[in-house]
Amino acid sequence: MDELKKLIRDIPDFPKKGILFKDVTPLLGNGEGLRLTVRKLADLIAGKHVTKVVGIESRGFIFGTALAHEMGLGFVPVRKPGKLPYQTVRESYSLEYGTDAIEMHRDAVAPGERVVIVDDLLATGGTMAAAAKLVRAVGGEPLAGLVVIELKMLNGRDKLRGLDVHSLLQY
């Protein structure tokens, strides 16, 4: 994983003062790094009988779509409010620098579908917990949460009890 860590750039004071942003764009721009990341994410859920991948806006779209493609599964975008054109379910959550909400199409996950939720980063866990609630609200079963980066000092896993959480890189 050291080769992947070398592809993560630190941006101080983004999006606001006091935040050290972990920028994955150098990783995305490196073909071998991106390929390795997607393969490692796929390995984490091999044999779990996942039926769909849910990706959280916006960098979760990138890793989630690549993972869905790698595994031959469908992809579900979870977006900020007002961005999806069909009937949605909404969940509000807290994050390390404010509050927000996310939405998913009401019919994107069928009852009983087994899904994995993907994002680039796990910080306080609010976004992924909200995504898991959306999946449950429509009858789906969130099996696992996958992230490229976990900021362990923020204890995001505490909000994700009952969800099998995996991260490739920890800081």
**Catalytic positions, please?**
59, 96
Q: Environment class of residue 138 by beta-carbon count within 10 Å: exposed (0-12), middle (13-18) or buried (19+)?
A: middle
Which DSSP letter does residue 36 get? H
Count of C-beta atoms within a 10 Å radius of residue 33: 18
Name the burial class of residue 139, with classes exposed (0-12), middle (13-18) and buried (19+) by CB atoms within 10 angstroms of its CB.
exposed
Per the CB < 8 A criterion, the answer to whether 103 and 88 are in contact is: yes
